[in-house]
Amino acid sequence: MQVEIYVEPSPLMQALRAAGSVGSQMVSEGLLANLIRGADRDLGLGGRLIQHMSGNRIAIQTVNEMSDDQWRQFLNKRFGHSEWSRWFAKNSGNRYSIVVVE
């Protein structure tokens, strides 16, 4: 399983990035853990995403804001194909996208 996490930065996220590690900030607030649990549930992965992410270093990449169609094009280019299997996105001021390739 390959998992990538992307954030579309808002002014708040850009300020957090400038102040330090986005990843540690998100983890310390429990946001990332909640996103992973939600993605696992909504994608029907039966705990496999949670298990995969446990103990693994989580890299969060920021990207410019995109429409859904632009996201699909971005992911197709990123993986070199359109066979990435699952995409979970949560909007709450920023878009957090968790991409799972099985």
pLDDT in tens, 20-71: 665 555 555 577 788 888 888 888 899 998 898 887 777 777 788 788 788 8
Q: 97 - beta bridge partners?
A: 6, 89
Task: State the amino acid at position 3 in one-letter form.
Answer: V
More confident residue, 29 or 87: 87
Query: Mean pLDDT over residues 63-87, rounded?
Result: 80
Which of these, 100, 90, 101, 98, lies nearest to 6 by C-alpha position? Answer: 98
Q: What confidence score (pLDDT) does residue 12 get?
A: 62
